[in-house]
Structures are given as structure tokens and as C-alpha cells.
Amino acid sequence: MAKSDLQNRLTKLQQQGLDPEREKRFRDELEQAEADHNPPAPAQPGPFPGFSRSIYSFQDQAVLQRQERVPNPYTLHFKSLDDLLERDRQREEDGFPRKIKVGKLIKPGKGGKGKVVVVPSTEEEKLIHDPTVRPPGEGGSTGGTGSEEEGDILGEQPVRDTGGEPGAGPGQGEGEGHDLDATAYELGRALTEKFQLPNLREKGKKRSFTRYTYDLTDRNRGSGQVLDKKATLRQIVETNIALGNLPSLEDLDPVRFLIAPKDKVYRVLSPEKDYEPQALVFFVRDYSGSMAGKVTELVVTQHVLIYSWLLFQYGGQVESRFILHDTEAKEVSDFYTYYNSRVAGGTEVASALKLVNEIVAKDHLDADYNIYVFHGTDGDDWDTGGDKALPEIMKILSYASRMGITIAEHSGTQWTEVARYMENSGLLRDKPDLIRMDIMSEDADEARIIEGIKKLIS
Amino acid sequence: MELINQHTKEIMEGCKERARAAGLSFTDESLEYIVTNRDLIELSPKVMIPTLYDYWVHDVEVLRGKGEYELYPHNPYETVINTRPPISFYNDNNPDWLNVMIFYHVLGHIDFFQNNLYFRHTWEYDFTGQALSDKRVIAKLRAEKGRWVDYIIEFARSIDNLVGYHTELSPLFASPKQHTSSRLDYYFDVFLQVEKKLSVGDFLKEINRYNDFVARLGEEAETSFFAQIEVKYPEFEAHFQKKTGVKHTERRDLLRFLVENSEFLAREENVWMKSILEVIRMTSIFFQPQIRTKIMNEGWASYWHEKLFLQDDRIKGHEVDFARVHAGVTSMPRVGMNPYALGMRLFWFLKEAADAGRTTYDFHRLTDAQERKNYDRGDGTGEDFIFQVRENLCDYLFLKNFIDQDFTNKYNLFVTGKRLDQQRMVWQYYVKSRDARQYRDMCLNTLYHPPNIEIDTEKGEEGALYLIHHFEGKQLVQEYIANTLVGIEYLWGKPVQLETSEAVFSQPSHSHSGPRDEGAEPEITWQRVVYTMKEKVLTRKTL
């Protein structure tokens, strides 16, 4: 939406009365209305990657024998993440702060799925000097060799965008250097036992989601688990007719039948595909200007967790669609873009919900799929009272199996616009089975996020 | 892990003969193992000590963002460890010529471990053996106490950089014959320096005066000396009597202080914790010299692998292969630091300088540039000189004493700076200085340096442990303070206070454009604060 349109809307809203705090936020969003949402370019190592390398990072194994660090296959040591989580829970019981970070997110790779991995990690804290505290604009110093004069420029590196700019993608800088395909633990594994998609209905049994079930359905001649008497008898009769051992139907004497080993037909245990209802998940996230900083991180973290759980639990068979919105919504093709797109612009929740409805209507998805919608926002909406959003939500609820709204509140705000109109609409009370809302503050930790998922999908 | 085969061992023994002939000295036995990736996975969290105690954090990804090498003052991937016999680790597919080079490098390290005086405290025992018994102690305790053992390990490790490495080391060098009375010790070490705060000059005069007494009176010296002192400082005797009752407490070794003074740890049900603290402390002290001699150690090993490899008759035909690997190891980076390259160049530089007599007093007195340049006395004592350097110095002294303008000029070294060009929003890398002093200071600044934290036994309120961080221009990592203090509070059993300095950023009064000029110094001021950890709640107060 163009800036001038937004300006008009803002004026209109002002006439209807706006509290100053909201107005300020809207104005901030307006400022950034024309900034783009492109995911940040991958971090450049700069012309001199050795600049900040410590002398202590050199070691004989790497330097002399080219033996680089071997990533630690956590699975080798820990039967499951649960052991670690249990240890962490125990810490809290014993009165010490938790130490394990489960959701250390690793930037999902572009395109490919199944790349969302989460590493349990920890930190050992000590009293040490902080090398990073230095005057702004000063980048430290190191050694160098060459014939340049004092003051000569050796190279330049563009300054990376930081949080203060139009908005940074949440994945930025996190977990760089980790190999995504390495032996990191999949978080989905840990969440599997805890969650199941709610309200799964039988719809258009086209695909199987889960694994095989085993059943005695296949037959095998000669050996097997259970003798199939009827089939065996038929086989024996056939054999004997062929041998001429059964001259006429009147003179039937089973005692004279010749039985070849191959005639015995058995039932054997065999894997059967278990066809189950299929599901489609819409991830919807607000990437308007007000989402800068922690709230976006929270929302995407939660969506990454849900996404990785789906990947694990349903073997990638759950389809996902990704929708981003400010005042206009657009669908993006992969999780990477969804995850990394930068925030800017105003907010209109209805636009995204409308897009969901359009996509569903266009492909008649509701006939074949169980549809789930997860929406993450900071609760801000230019659409006061939800005049546009609520009808769209009603529409979604007519076909969706579950809609989950996550509101990550900025610290200091309470009772956001979205929360208010959702509450007023009475939907949350009337259809608790279909729609859930989870409100957390922007400094929620990972445990809280997982708690939130439980609330949304239990 | 398996031993190298006989063929390779023979190569190693050949290297040992040649290294000895060249003047290196080390114990006869050594163990060489082939390691696989799997072995490395297990070894690296245990800093290559196969017998180190088990700890759950070894099995998890450890985030080491900030100050990794301050947190872990030991290299997780060393090729050779300082044990008796020394153990070294190899890939199984190294060609023979490469092994020759690595063996020389390893022998250089072993020589360094066994002759550099900063390793003095590790000479008398085998650390793997010690570690194995420690590991058993911890395993046994774990069977009895369960997860509490891990908490104690965690808390102890969180302060294992605050150990009195130097106080551990210095008694080893005290001459056993030197015997002085405690009165004399108190007078010179405490009374004059701490109570009277004498200037260095006056203090030396006083020592001279005492030495005169000894020269004149022999046995009687002390008695007559103190007879005079009683006149000069009538209060001395009272002070001395008061102090003799007080046990000397180590004030810079927090782990030891806790073991000796914590009432909580002294309780019968908690005494077992002390042995864990002691294990962590000894392990930390064992590794201390390693990080304090990184540049020297790698430089020394590189110096010798270069020198000995090129003289070795067994590797004919592999000079080019060697040159490629060697250059990769020891080339000076265009921007950045490389301990191998810097250390090796400094050793070569010193050898050449000493060969020409340029390490002498006569040379240093010369001021004429031309004379300095052409100075060559033909001493030929370069090798002796660098052997002395390897025996007596650590990185700090090595760099501080020997990086001079001649050295930086010879190798074209400069300090690279990085600054923000606000107009164009780029970081610029530029030649900040070619001054050897600045280069030296930059190098010294990169060295490992744990914070100087002292225990003040007087200041704590209500039995609180009062820690004073002597500020040296860098603040502590703030995020780590809370959890570290939780651990210390647990071990002390009472509240803990930490006095430290923190940066206050003030906005520049005028906006800069273009690169910041040298004169406009930081908008950063420091303020003194006290953190108090009481019942796991952290509070902060500005002083």
C-alpha cells in the first residue's frame, strides 16, 4: 500500500480517536511504509576474515594435520533431548537457574525442507573481560604485514544492518558456521510425544501421513506365519486336477490328494500403508514495522518450532504455506524467506486472513485437507475493532480445524488491538475447539514458547 | 586410539636423535597415537587428556561466543600433551615426509614443556595419571551424591580462571638455603610495604642497611637490627605479635580461598566438595602455562621443524611439499595474527641478532642508525641466546622485551585498525601504526589475561565474601556475572559481593562525519559498581 493511502487512513483513524501511544506506533510504521521486505543479504565475512581471529584459535591439529574441529554428535551421548530437559527441570527444582537452551535456532537453508534443526546448547559462565566493550565506531585492531604507509586503507566492508534500521531478519547472525546437515538434534523429536495436530478429520484420503501399520494381509506360498486353509485347499485341488488325480467330481476322496509343499498358502506379516487424513498448515506472520526486534523473533521462533515438529512428526507430509503481511499480504514459497523477511510498513491483519481464504477457496482445499492457521503478530492492527478481520476469521473457522493466534506483546503494552477485538467477538469462548489465542510478553523464554504451542494446538 | 606402527615409530626415533644432536632436550619415551574423528569427538571436550573427569557439559554444544579463549584457557585440539611420557596424536593417513615435519614440531613442543620454567610445576608428575585418579574420585562421589557433584563441578569451573597460578609457581623457585625468620619476613614484606608504604628507594635503602648489619655482625645481625627498629618504630613489635596469630590467606586464588575458609564447605556433610574444588583447581593450574606461552611455544616448535626438516637426509625430494605446508603454517597474514608466524620470526630474529651481538648492552647504547644497521660483533651465540629465552620467558615478556622497531621493520609489520566511516557506512581497515611500540602493545593486548580479582577479608558485610575486581581498562562480561555469583554464593554459604567497573556510554556531543580522527577519543566513562548476590538474587549498586 502506498504511503499516501496509509496517511489517509491514519488521518481517518485519528478522527475516530486514537490513543497517543498507538498513534505513535502507527506513525513509526508509516515512516517505514516504503522500505522493502527483502531478506537480509547473507552476512559478508569482510575482506579480512582473520581480523578478529584470536591467536589462541590456531592449533596444531588444524594447522599441521588439517584436522578441523569435529562437530559433536550429541545423539551419541544423549539418548534424547528429554534427558537434558529433565536435567534442566531438576536444576530449577534444586533452585539454580536453567542452563540448557533448547531452541538455539539455526538459520534454515534456502529452499530445501527438513533443514530446521535445533541444537541443545549451554554456556559456561565465568568472570572474564569483555572484549566487545569499546567506543562506538571503533572496531579494534590487530596485526598486519605489507608495505603501505600509515593511514592507508587496506579494504572496506559495508556495515551490516542492525536492529535500528528498517528491521533485521530474525535469523541474522545466529548460528553461523554451523553445518545444517551436521548431527544436530532435531527438535521435532522432543516435541513429538507432546503434541498432535488437533481435530484431524477424515478428508480426501489421498496421502498417508504416518508410517506403516503391519498386518497379516500378504500371502506367501510355502512358508509363513498363519496357514490360509481356504486358499491352500484351492491350490491343492488345482494341483491335483493338473496331475489328473481328480477324475470326476462325484468321486472325491481327499485322502488321495497329493500335496506339494508349494500348495500351502500362508498369510504373512506385511507393512500396510495407513491412509490418514491430510493436513495443510498456513503460517501467517505480521511483518509490519512495529514488529521490529524481539517480537518477531518470538513469533518466528514459535513458528520454527511448529514447523520442525510437523516435519518430524508427519515426515514432511503436512503441507505448509507461508503468508506474510503488513497492510497487504503475500504468499512466499519457502520457509527461508518467511523466516528472514524484514519488517516494515503498516499493519492490517485482515489482509492476510483474506489471502488465506482466497487460497483455500481457489483450490477447494477445504474439501481435501484439514486446515490449520497459525498467525503471529504483536497485536497491533490499523483495523480498529476488527471490522475487517473478524468476518475473515469467521470464514476461516467455517472450514479450519484449528486457528492459533500468537500475540507477542511489546513490553509496556497491554491489551493490544487484536487481543481486544478477539476477546470482544466472543469467538474464543464460543469456539474454543477451533480458535485459540496465546498472549506472551516479548521477553518470553523458550519454555514459554513451547508452552504457547501447547496452548495453541492441544 | 592405537599406537603408530613400527615403521612410523622408527621415523620418530630418528627425529629424536637429530633433535637431540641439535640441542633440544626431552625425556626418552614418548607415545604416539593414531586418532580417528570419533576419538577426537571424545578427546576434544577433555582437552585431549584421555583420562579427564566426566562432566555433562562435555557432551553438549557449548556456546563460546564471547571471549572463548578467556573462558577456556586451554586448547581443545593440541597435537601433543604435556604428560610423562608426552602423548601426541596423528591422523592415520599422513605421508612419511609430513610425519617427519610434525614429529619435529612435536619434539619442539616437548622440549618447551620440559624446559620452560613456567611449566616447572608440571615436571614432577604425569598429568594423565593424576587425572585418572581424579576422575575416579569424581565418579565415586557421583555414585554417592548424584547430580550435586555436577553442580559443584559447575560452580568450581565457573571460577577456575581465578586461581593463583603464580603463587603456586613461585615457591618452587625459592632457594631452600635461604632461611629468614618470620619477624624479618614480616618487617620487610608487610610492615614496610603495607603498613608504612615506603617508597621503593627507601625500601631498598632499608634492605641495604640490613645487609650491612649481616656483613658486620654475622649471626648477631638480626638481634641488633631489631633493637634499632624498636627505637625507630616503637609500634612494630605490637603489630608483629598481632599478625603472627592470623593465618596468611591467599587473596588472589578464589578456589583455594573457598577451600580453606568457607564455613559451608567445612561442614561435615559438605567436606567432599572440597576434593572436587581441588581437582578443578589443579587441572586449571596445570593448563595455565600452556596459554601463557602460546606464541613462544608455537614459534619455538616451528623454528625447529623448519630447521631440522631441511637438514634431514631422509626426506629428499619432498622439499616442495614441505615448503607448501610450512608456508601455510608460518606465513604472516596480511591482516591478523598468527602465533606460529610471529613466534618463529621472533626466534629467528633473536638468533640473528645475538649472532651479531645485537642483544648486548653495547649495542643498545648505540644511537646512530647507520652504526646500528651495520653492527656485527660476530659473537655467534644466537642459538645459546634463544635457548635461554625458551627457558625463562613467557609470551608477555617475550613480546615485551623483544618486539622493537628493527623487528617490525624487517618483517614489514604494522597495526591494522578498523574504524567506521559514518558517511559511507562502511568499516575501513587501515594501517593504524608502524610504530613498534604500538605493535607491541597491540600484541600484548591480545594475550590471555584473566581479570585481577582479589578477596577483601575486611569489607564484606555480615560474613559476605567481598571480591574486588581491579580494573584494567576492560569490564567484565555482564551477562555472566549473575550465574557465576550464584555458584560462588553456594560454595561460600553466605552472600557474595563483587566490586567492579562498568562502561557508561555517553552520546557524542557533536556528530562526527567521516572517519573519526585520532584525537576524538571515546565517549565512554567508567563507573564503579557493586553487585551483591544474596539468596540467589542479584542487586547492583553504583558506588
Q: pLDDT digits over B48-61, tens only?
A: 888 999 888 777 66
List pLDDT tens digits, range B466-497.
Answer: 999 999 988 898 889 999 999 999 999 999 99
- Tell me the β-bridge partners of B497: B466, B532
Position B178 pLDDT exceeds 80: no
Q: Which residue has the higher pLDDT, B395 or B59?
A: B395
Q: DSSP letters along B109-178, please? A: HHHHHHH-GGGGGGTTS-HHHHHHHHHHHHHHHHHHHTHHHHHHHHHHHTTTTS--HHHHHGGGGS-TT-
Position B515 pLDDT exceeds 60: no
Contact B430 A151 (CB under 8 A): yes
pLDDT at B271: 94
Say how far apart CA A335 and CA A286 lie, in whole Å.
15
**Would you say A37 and A344 are in contact if contact means Cβ atoms under 8 Å apart?**
yes
* Ordered strands of the B426-433 beta sheet: A138-145, B413-421, B426-433, A153-158
Tell me the pLDDT band of A69, cut-offs 50, 70 and 90: low
Q: What is the mean pLDDT of chain B?
A: 87
| φ and ψ of A280, to 5 deg | -130, 130
**Would you say B124 and B245 are in contact if contact means Cβ atoms under 8 Å apart?**
no
Question: Residue A418 to residues A327, A337, A377, A393: CA-CA distances in angstroms?
Answer: 14, 25, 9, 12
| φ and ψ of A145, to 5 deg | -130, 150
Say how far apart CA A141 and CA B431 lie, in whole Å.
10
Say how far apart CA A350 and CA B120 lie, in whole Å.
74
Cis peptide preceding B522, ω within 30 of 0: no
Say how far apart CA B476 and CA A131 lie, in whole Å.
9
Contacts of B434 in chain A (CB under 8 A): 149-150
Among the ranges given (A239-253, A293-307, B238-252, B523-537), the one the predictor scored with the smallest mean pLDDT: B238-252
Position A373 pLDDT exceeds 70: yes
- Tell me the β-bridge partners of A292: none
Question: Residue B256 to residues B73, B127, B164, B176, B344: CA-CA distances in angstroms?
Answer: 19, 20, 8, 24, 37
CB-based contact, B290 to chain A, within 8 Å: no
Helix (H) or strand (E) holding A269: strand A265-273
CB-based contact, B11 to chain A, within 8 Å: no
CB-based contact, A362 to chain B, within 8 Å: no
Which of A358, A274, A286 is closest to A323 using CA atoms? A286
Q: Which of residues 459-518 of B touch A (CB under 8 A)?
A: 469, 472, 474-484, 486, 498, 503, 505, 512, 516
Q: Which residue has the higher pLDDT, B340 or A220?
A: B340
Contact B325 A133 (CB under 8 A): no
Position B210 pLDDT exceeds 80: yes
Contacts of B525 in chain A (CB under 8 A): none
Position B518 pLDDT exceeds 70: no
CB-based contact, B536 to chain A, within 8 Å: yes
User: Quick one: average pLDDT of B9-18?
Assistant: 95
Residues 6+ apart with CB under 8 A from B35: B1, B43, B89, B90, B91
The percentage of chain A sitting over the pLDDT mark of 70, rounded to a whole number, equals 69
Contact A59 B429 (CB under 8 A): no
User: Quick one: average pLDDT of B252-261?
Assistant: 90
Instruction: Choose among A51, A87, A119: nearest Cβ to B418.
Output: A51
Contact A76 B417 (CB under 8 A): no
Position A51 pLDDT exceeds 50: yes
CB-based contact, B34 to chain A, within 8 Å: no
What is the SS3 assignment for A328? coil
List pLDDT tens digits, range B414-468.
Answer: 999 988 888 887 888 999 999 999 999 999 988 999 999 999 888 887 889 999 9
Q: Which residue has the higher pLDDT, A439 or A304?
A: A439
CB-based contact, A141 to chain B, within 8 Å: yes
pLDDT at B179: 67
Q: Which residue has the higher pLDDT, A205 or A364?
A: A364
Which DSSP symbol is given to A163? T
pLDDT at A167: 31
User: Quick one: average pLDDT of B139-147?
Assistant: 93
Residues 6+ apart with CB under 8 A from B407: B345, B346, B349, B413, B436
The grid cell for B163 is 586461581
What sections of A145-244 are H helices per DSSP? 187-192, 229-243
**Would you say A117 and A184 are in contact if contact means Cβ atoms under 8 Å apart?**
yes
pLDDT at A314: 64
pLDDT at A384: 75
Q: Which residue has the higher pLDDT, B273 or A294?
A: B273
Contacts of B154 in chain A (CB under 8 A): 99, 124
Say how far apart CA B328 and CA B311 lie, in whole Å.
20
Position B251 pLDDT exceeds 60: yes
Say how far apart CA B464 and CA B100 lie, in whole Å.
57
pLDDT at B243: 73
**Would you say B32 and B3 are in contact if contact means Cβ atoms under 8 Å apart?**
yes
Number of Cβ within 10 Å of residue B20's Cβ equals: 14
List pLDDT tens digits, range B323-364.
Answer: 999 998 999 999 999 999 999 999 999 999 999 999 888 898
Which DSSP symbol is given to A129? B
pLDDT at A114: 42
pLDDT at B28: 93
Q: Which residue has the higher pLDDT, B66 or B1?
A: B1
Contact A48 B335 (CB under 8 A): yes
Instruction: Choose among A132, A138, A158: nearest Cβ to B66.
Output: A132
- Tell me the β-bridge partners of A278: A369
pLDDT at B245: 59
The grid cell for B67 is 571471549
The grid cell for A374 is 497459525
Position B129 pLDDT exceeds 80: yes
CATH 3.40.50.410 domain span(s) along chain A: 187-207+275-457
Tell me the pLDDT band of B404, cut-offs 50, 70 and 90: very high
Instruction: Choose among B75, B430, B536: nearest Cβ to A152.
Output: B430
CB-based contact, A183 to chain B, within 8 Å: no
Instruction: Give residue for cell 524484514.
Output: A342
Mode of pairing for the β-strands spanning A265-273 and A278-286: unpaired
CB-based contact, B91 to chain A, within 8 Å: yes
Position A2 pLDDT exceeds 70: no
CB-based contact, A242 to chain B, within 8 Å: no
Which DSSP symbol is given to A14? H
Tell me the pLDDT band of B519, cut-offs 50, 70 and 90: very low
Would you state the torsion angle of the CA atoms of residues A422, A426, A427, A430, taken in this order, to the nearest 10 degrees?
Answer: 160
Q: Which residue has the higher pLDDT, B261 or B41?
A: B261
User: Quick one: average pLDDT of B178-195?
Assistant: 80
What sections of A133-284 are H helices per DSSP? 187-192, 229-243
Position B512 pLDDT exceeds 50: no
Position B399 pLDDT exceeds 80: yes
Contacts of A130 in chain B (CB under 8 A): 66-67, 474-478
Tell me the pLDDT band of A311, cut-offs 50, 70 and 90: low
Say how far apart CA B541 and CA B461 lie, in whole Å.
14
Q: Which of residues 69-98 of A touch B (CB under 8 A)?
A: 69-70, 72-74, 76-78, 84, 87, 90, 94-97
Would you state the torsion angle of the CA atoms of residues B127, B130, B132, B138, taken in this order, to the nearest 10 degrees?
Answer: -130
Q: Please, is A157 exposed, middle or buried when counting C-beta atoms within 10 Å of its C-beta (0-12, 13-18, 19+)?
A: middle
Position A282 pLDDT exceeds 60: yes
Contacts of B90 in chain A (CB under 8 A): 65
Chain A nearest-CA distance from B324, in A, is: 11
CB-based contact, B295 to chain A, within 8 Å: yes
Residues 6+ apart with CB under 8 A from B429: A47, A48, A51, A153, A154, A155, A156, A157, B335, B416, B417, B418
CB-based contact, A396 to chain B, within 8 Å: no
Provide the residue type at B206 as one letter: E
- Tell me the β-bridge partners of B3: B33
Which of B268, B181, B269, B270 is closest to B229 using CA atoms? B181
Tell me the pLDDT band of B516, cut-offs 50, 70 and 90: very low
| φ and ψ of A123, to 5 deg | -130, 140
Q: Which of residues 130-189 of B touch A (CB under 8 A)?
A: 147, 151, 154, 157-162
Chain B nearest-CA distance from A296, in A, is: 23
Tell me the pLDDT band of A181, cut-offs 50, 70 and 90: very low
Among the ranges given (A15-19, A396-400, B134-138, B265-269), the one the predictor scored with the smallest mean pLDDT: A15-19
Contact A157 B425 (CB under 8 A): no
Provide the residue type at A171 as one letter: G
Taking CA–CA distances from B294, the nearest residue in chain A reads A56
Position B1 pLDDT exceeds 80: yes
What's the fold here for domain A187-207+275-457?
Rossmann fold (3.40.50)
pLDDT at B517: 44
Question: Residue B529 to residues B452, B478, B532: CA-CA distances in angstroms?
Answer: 16, 12, 10
Q: Which residue has the higher pLDDT, A394 or B272?
A: B272
Question: Residue B202 to residues B231, B240, B241: CA-CA distances in angstroms?
Answer: 18, 21, 24
Which of B432, B219, B319 is closest to A140 using CA atoms? B432
List pLDDT tens digits, range A261-272.
Answer: 888 888 887 766
Describe the crossing of helices B395-402 and B436-446 by its angle, rounded to 10 degrees: 170
Chain B nearest-CA distance from A158, in A, is: 4
Position A178 pLDDT exceeds 50: no
The percentage of chain B sitting over the pLDDT mark of 70, rounded to a whole number, equals 91
Chain A, chain B: beta-carbon pairs less than 8 Å apart: 318
Chain A nearest-CA distance from B235, in A, is: 41
Which DSSP symbol is given to A162? -
Tell me the pLDDT band of A352, cut-offs 50, 70 and 90: confident
pLDDT at B135: 94
Q: Is the ipTM of this complex over 0.85?
A: no
Position B34 pLDDT exceeds 90: yes
Contact B448 A56 (CB under 8 A): yes
Position B231 pLDDT exceeds 90: no
**Would you say A134 and A140 are in contact if contact means Cβ atoms under 8 Å apart?**
yes
Taking CA–CA distances from B535, the nearest residue in chain A reads A95
Q: Which of residues 121-140 of A touch B (CB under 8 A)?
A: 121-140
Number of Cβ within 10 Å of residue B6's Cβ equals: 7
Tell me the pLDDT band of A168, cut-offs 50, 70 and 90: very low
Contact A55 B480 (CB under 8 A): no
pLDDT at B434: 94
Instruction: Choose among B57, B78, B484: nearest Cβ to A127.
Output: B484
Say how far apart CA B81 and CA B98 lie, in whole Å.
20
Among the ranges given (A273-287, B113-127, B304-318, B503-517), the one the predictor scored with the smallest mean pLDDT: B503-517
Instruction: Choose among A64, A122, A145: nearest Cβ to B102.
Output: A64
pLDDT at A254: 77
Contact A61 B79 (CB under 8 A): yes
Longest dimension (CA), chain B: 81
Position A194 pLDDT exceeds 70: no
Contact A141 B77 (CB under 8 A): no
- SS3 track for B436-495: HHHHHHHHHHHCCCCCEEEEECCCCHHHCEEEEEECCCCCECHHHHHHHHHHHHHHHCCC
Name all contacts of B181-184 with Cβ < 8 Å and 24+ positions apart.
Answer: B181/B222, B182/B244, B183/B222, B183/B226, B183/B240, B184/B210, B184/B222
The grid cell for A183 is 548431527
pLDDT at A259: 85
Chain B nearest-CA distance from A388, in A, is: 42
Contacts of A63 in chain B (CB under 8 A): 328-329, 340
Longest dimension (CA), chain A: 116
Question: Residue B157 to residues A128, A141, A182, B277: CA-CA distances in angstroms?
Answer: 13, 31, 29, 8
Contacts of A138 in chain B (CB under 8 A): 418-420, 516, 522
Tell me the pLDDT band of B522, cut-offs 50, 70 and 90: low
